[in-house]
């Protein structure tokens, strides 16, 4: 009996050990499960939902900053560089760059000014930006240009006859032609082939007036400017002589002028040559009663050269502009759904 009792006690002890080990195994499994759950709770990046949240935050930050861009200096599907008004307190615009290498698994990075790039999203498998732009033309008025003194009109030919200024008051109508865009013109000097045919005591002069044309382009009597020339200073032959004017009012491009020559009392004789010409822009008029009555010559004009300046309107300049109006993007990592977003770009920065 004593021997049997000893064997039973030993068997009960082994049973208890088996039960105890089973309980310990259950406890270890429960603790392991709790540790795994706790680890996932502490590290949300391990789930697709948390990855999507991180991508969304990174894309939202990019779009928020780009919406206030004042310039854009780089734009590709995987990189954008833009400037923002000062955010760092140095009174200078700040430059921000977002970029992805294009290699799956590489991070999306953000760089501020000259600082080292920082990672804003990891494990990127797709990053694509799309730019909506608007084109417009800026018209800059061309302004005006005042030319240097230049030849404005010219006429010469074989001399057919002459008229003595002592006997006649002579007028030569001239209307120069100008290119499109001419706003006005101003006469500065006239070259004539006037010559003396006698000499006096040296005090005799020829009066040269610029008058506004009247009906049929005869002189109107409205004097625009005048000058005089001494008869004794004229050559004996029909050579070109220059006569300069000051303070001549500007004329419209379709307006002409009458050059009126008359003698002063007791003047020595001076002559003007005449050349055959038929033109509505150039014609000579004569008066033998002191400019009270004018009559036109038979298709004659005196040789002349008009010099002066022009005021020209310069052509407008058209500058094309392309402006960024809207930016959209997509950001994806691993198996998580892609983050998508878009924003208006409020300052309409120039798109390079």
Cα 69 to Cα 237: distance, rounded to the nearest angstrom: 78
Residue 352 belongs to some domain of the structure: no
Residue 349 belongs to some domain of the structure: no
* 148 shares its domain with 263: yes
* Apex 119 CA angle, 100 and 330, nearest 5: 45
* 38 shares its domain with 49: no
Q: What is the pLDDT along the chain (352 residues), one digit of tens a residue?
A: 444 444 434 444 554 544 454 444 444 444 444 433 444 444 444 454 455 568 999 999 999 999 999 999 999 999 999 999 999 999 999 999 999 999 999 999 999 999 999 999 999 999 999 999 999 999 999 999 999 999 999 998 888 888 888 888 999 999 999 999 999 999 999 999 999 887 766 678 899 999 999 988 999 999 999 999 998 899 999 999 999 999 999 999 999 999 999 987 665 688 999 888 756 667 889 999 888 999 987 688 899 999 999 999 999 999 999 999 999 999 999 878 899 999 999 999 998 8
* 88 shares its domain with 171: no
Closest CA to 323 of 101, 86, 71: 71
* 227 shares its domain with 109: no
Residue 230 belongs to some domain of the structure: yes
Residue 351 belongs to some domain of the structure: no
* CATH code for the domain in which residue 194 is found: 2.60.120
* Apex 151 CA angle, 146 and 152, nearest 5: 75
pTM: 0.61
Phi/psi at 175 (nearest 5 deg)?
A: -130, 105
| DSSP code at position 266 | T
What pLDDT, on a 0 to 100 scale, did the predictor assign at position 158? 80
How much of the chain is helix, strand and coil, in % rounded to 5? Answer: 20, 45, 35
Residue 88 belongs to some domain of the structure: yes
Closest CA to 262 of 227, 304, 297, 232: 227
* 302 shares its domain with 337: no
Are the C-beta atoms of 165 and 350 separated by less than 8 Å?
Answer: no
What pLDDT, on a 0 to 100 scale, did the predictor assign at position 320? 95
What pLDDT, on a 0 to 100 scale, did the predictor assign at position 157? 82
H or E element at residue 274: strand 270-276
* 77 shares its domain with 151: no
* 156 shares its domain with 261: yes
Residue 226 belongs to some domain of the structure: yes
**Radius of gyration (Cα) for the chain, nearest Å?**
49
* 36 shares its domain with 50: no
* 49 shares its domain with 91: yes
Residue 213 belongs to some domain of the structure: yes
- Residue written as token pair 């921000």: 96
* 280 shares its domain with 205: yes
Q: CA-CA distances (angstroms) from residue 119 to 116, 138, 310?
A: 10, 40, 65
Structural domain count, the chain = 3
Cα 222 to Cα 212: distance, rounded to the nearest angstrom: 6
Residue 179 belongs to some domain of the structure: yes
* 17 shares its domain with 118: no
What pLDDT, on a 0 to 100 scale, did the predictor assign at position 280? 60
* 125 shares its domain with 208: no
Can you give the residue range of the structural domain that contains 80? 45-137+319-344
Specify the pairing of strand 79-84 against strand 219-230: unpaired
């Amino acid at each position: 009996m004593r021997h049997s009792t000893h064997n039973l006690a030993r068997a009960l002890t082994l049973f208890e050990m088996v039960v105890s080990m089973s309980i310990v195994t259950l406890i270890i499994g429960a603790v392991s499960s709790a540790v795994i759950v706790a680890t996932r709770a502490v590290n949300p990046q391990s789930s697709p939902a948390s990855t999507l949240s991180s991508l969304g935050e990174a894309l939202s930050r990019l779009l928020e900053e780009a919406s206030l861009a004042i310039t854009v200096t780089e734009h590709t599907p995987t990189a954008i560089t833009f400037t923002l008004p000062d955010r760092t307190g140095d009174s200078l615009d700040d430059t921000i760059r977002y970029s992805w290498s294009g290699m799956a698994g590489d991070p999306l990075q953000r760089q501020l000014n000259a600082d080292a790039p920082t990672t804003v999203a990891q494990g990127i498998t797709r990053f694509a930006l799309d730019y909506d732009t608007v084109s417009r033309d800026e018209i800059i008025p061309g302004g005006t240009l005042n030319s240097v003194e230049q030849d404005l009109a010219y006429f010469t030919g074989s001399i057919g006859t002459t008229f003595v200024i002592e006997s006649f008051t002579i007028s030569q109508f001239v209307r120069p032609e100008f290119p499109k865009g001419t706003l006005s013109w101003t006469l500065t000097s006239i070259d004539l082939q006037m010559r003396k045919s006698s000499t006096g005591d040296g005090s005799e002069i020829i009066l040269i007036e610029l008058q506004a044309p009247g009906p049929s382009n005869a002189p109107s009597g409205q004097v625009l400017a005048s000058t005089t020339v001494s008869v004794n200073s004229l050559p004996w032959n029909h050579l070109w002589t220059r006569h300069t004017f000051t303070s001549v009012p500007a004329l419209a491009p379709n307006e002409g002028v009458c050059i009126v020559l008359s003698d002063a009392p007791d003047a020595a004789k001076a002559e003007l040559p005449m050349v055959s010409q038929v033109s509505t822009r150039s014609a000579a008029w004569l008066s033998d009663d002191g400019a009270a009555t004018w009559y036109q010559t038979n298709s004659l004009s005196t040789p002349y050269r008009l010099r002066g300046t022009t005021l020209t309107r310069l052509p407008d300049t058209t500058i094309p502009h392309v402006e960024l109006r809207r930016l959209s993007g997509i950001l994806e990592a691993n198996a998580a759904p892609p983050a998508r977003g878009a924003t208006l770009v409020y300052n309409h920065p120039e798109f390079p």
